[in-house]
């Protein structure tokens, strides 16, 4: 049997692992929620560290906490923010819907650490120092109902700004580089999976780059949702009971200085606590980013299909053997990983949406599905950021155009006849396309044989590059 110690909370005594920094409330939650066996994301734990430090600073400035106790709480909170004590945050994601268990987990760990700093020669775990209490001091002026959603905002904002946006910036740069490099390479365009008029490979990749630029914009909009509606200061139901009127503003100011992101107190605290519309909206942008990346990856996968019996206009870098039975087979695995991430993010969007629905997550003055909401949200941010980096490093860096294949398919395309329509008419061109297909001839070959247009004019009209630049003189 593992050694334990006895801790007390408002419900009485509770055995706690002897070396744990947390107390009775956390131990009860661990016992009550053996569901996923997966604690809340580390980003939320670290956000709690920043938040509790900011709250202690605000309470000290407002004369609510003594400088000594505040300093001990801030130092302990800094360690939590740095991830030093992640192993002491064992509460499952599928816990109380308000995140009360995780808030108390933070309060208890920080109280233990702060007590150790104040106790002469002490080291955690020790009995709570009279000057540091999980609820009275670490949680002063706060409720789980405003701290947990505030930690959600902090974690989401930090990860979007410092992980997702930089990854999308790299992806955009890589795609834009390919667009410029391949601007002169003409290929067959396709609509409805059927041959269409020519397009330059550079134009195709410029479209991809534009999608990612818009994805960066959407990530910025998602970030803004996280910054402007901080729930802290609403305490139990959004009324601000048991907190100072300046507390929220001071906490947001301290957080902004600590994290380097500008946070603002919610304009309406009942809304900030009762609804999680900002997360539903922000994740909608993440879902759109996932859809964009899936489109890009899917198109590159198809353009690289082959190598001999399909499109084959792109040569994808070989990253690993593609089959356990077919020797020499190589598959577009990086593209497939992007597509799978999109599947997961779209599923997460359903989770976030359901968690935000009235009657499911948001009920009266509180949302009670916040832990699962932030778990899904942060997973989406992490997956999108990581897969964007992998897409650049493992695929785009080594991606090349198969110029010979592009030219071969372009010459075989029947839709180049479109350039002749202004000269000989739509109906005649349609008939020529059908005839060329039936006789297995190219448009250039058939029209040349029929002498419908002079050779010089035919060469001018069937200039593939010119077809992609209609305004070129």
Interatomic CA distance for residues 305 and 331, integer angstroms: 9
Nearest Cα to 426, choosing from 434, 435, 417?
Answer: 417
Tell me the C-alpha distance between 376 and 191, whole Å: 35
Closest to 138 (Cα-Cα) out of 239, 240, 43, 54: 54
403 three-state secondary structure: helix
Q: How far is CA 187 from the centre of its chain?
A: 33
Q: How far apart are CA 290 and CA 387, in angstroms?
A: 10
Kindly list the distances between the CA atom of residue 95 and the CA atoms of 104, 166, 298, in Å, as whole numbers in the listed order.
12, 33, 38
Distance CA(76)–CA(126), nearest Å, equals 14
Sign of the CA dihedral 292, 296, 299, 301? Answer: negative
Distance CA 64, CA 78 (A): 20
CB 76, CB 110: distance < 8 Å: yes
Query: What tokens were used for 173?
Result: 């740069």
Q: How many residues does the chain have?
A: 473
First to last CA, the chain: 86
Report the relative pairing of strands 12-17 and 4-9 from DSSP bridges: antiparallel
Confirm if 230 and 263 have CB atoms less than 8 A apart: yes
Q: Which one is catalytic: 206, 323, 362, 454?
A: 323
For residue 258, give the nearest of 167, 373, 157 by alpha carbon.
157
Which position has the token pair 């060329």? 436
Q: Where are the beta strands (DSSP E) in 192-240?
A: 194-200
CA-wise closest residue to 229 among 266, 255, 254, 263: 266
25 given a catalytic annotation: no
Q: Is there a cis peptide before residue 125, judged by omega within 30 degrees of 0?
A: yes
Among residues 10, 123, 192, 324, the one annotated as catalytic is 192
- The question of whether 192 is a catalytic residue gets the answer yes
Half-sphere exposure of 223 (CA within 13 A, CB side): 18
Buried b (16+ CB within 10 A) or exposed e, 302-313: bbbeeeeeebbb
For residue 226, count other CB atoms closer than 10 A to its CB: 24
Active site residues: 192, 323
């Amino acid at each position: 049997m593992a050694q334990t110690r006895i801790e007390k909370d408002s419900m009485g005594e509770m055995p706690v692992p002897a070396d744990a920094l947390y107390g009775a409330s956390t131990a009860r939650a661990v016992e009550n929620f053996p569901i996923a066996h997966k604690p809340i994301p580390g980003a939320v734990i670290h956000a709690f560290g920043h938040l509790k430090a900011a709250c202690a600073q605000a309470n000290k400035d407002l004369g609510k906490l003594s400088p000594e106790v505040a300093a001990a709480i801030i130092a302990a909170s800094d360690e939590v923010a740095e991830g030093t004590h992640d192993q002491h945050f064992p509460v499952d994601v599928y816990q109380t819907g308000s995140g009360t268990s995780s808030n108390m987990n933070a309060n208890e760990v920080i109280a233990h650490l702060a007590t150790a700093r104040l106790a002469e020669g002490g080291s955690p775990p020790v009995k709570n120092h009279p000057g540091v209490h999980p609820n009275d001091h670490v949680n002063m002026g706060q409720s789980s109902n405003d701290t947990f959603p505030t930690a959600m905002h902090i974690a989401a904002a930090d990860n979007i700004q410092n992980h997702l946006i930089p990854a999308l910036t790299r992806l955009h740069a890589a795609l834009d580089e390919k667009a410029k490099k391949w601007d002169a390479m003409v290929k067959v365009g396709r609509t409805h999976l059927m041959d269409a008029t020519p397009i330059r490979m550079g134009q195709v990749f410029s479209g991809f780059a534009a999608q990612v630029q818009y994805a960066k914009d959407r990530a910025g909009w998602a970030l803004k949702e996280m910054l402007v509606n901080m729930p802290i200061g609403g305490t139990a139901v959004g009324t601000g009971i048991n907190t100072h009127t300046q507390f929220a503003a001071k906490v947001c100011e301290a957080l902004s200085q600590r994290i380097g992101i500008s946070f603002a107190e919610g304009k309406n605290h009942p809304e900030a606590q009762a609804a999680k519309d900002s997360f539903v909206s922000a994740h909608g942008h993440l879902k759109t980013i996932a859809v964009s990346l899936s489109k890009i990856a899917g198109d590159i996968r198809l353009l690289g299909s082959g190598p001999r019996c399909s499109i084959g206009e792109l040569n994808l870098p070989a990253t690993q053997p593609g089959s356990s039975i077919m020797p020499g087979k190589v598959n577009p695995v990086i593209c497939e990983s992007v597509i799978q991430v999109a599947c997961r993010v779209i599923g997460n969007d359903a989770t976030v949406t359901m968690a935000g629905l009235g009657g499911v997550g948001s009920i009266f003055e509180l949302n009670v599905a916040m832990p699962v909401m932030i778990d899904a949200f942060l997973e989406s941010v992490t997956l999108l950021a990581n897969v964007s980096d992998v897409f650049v490093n493992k695929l785009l860096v080594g991606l090349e155009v198969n110029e010979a294949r592009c030219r071969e398919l372009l010459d075989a395309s029947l839709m180049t006849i479109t350039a002749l329509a202004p000269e000989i008419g739509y109906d005649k061109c349609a008939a020529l396309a059908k005839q060329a297909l039936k006789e297995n001839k190219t448009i250039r070959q058939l029209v040349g044989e029929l002498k419908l247009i002079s050779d010089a004019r035919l060469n001018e009209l069937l200039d593939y590059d010119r077809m992609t630049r209609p305004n070129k003189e």
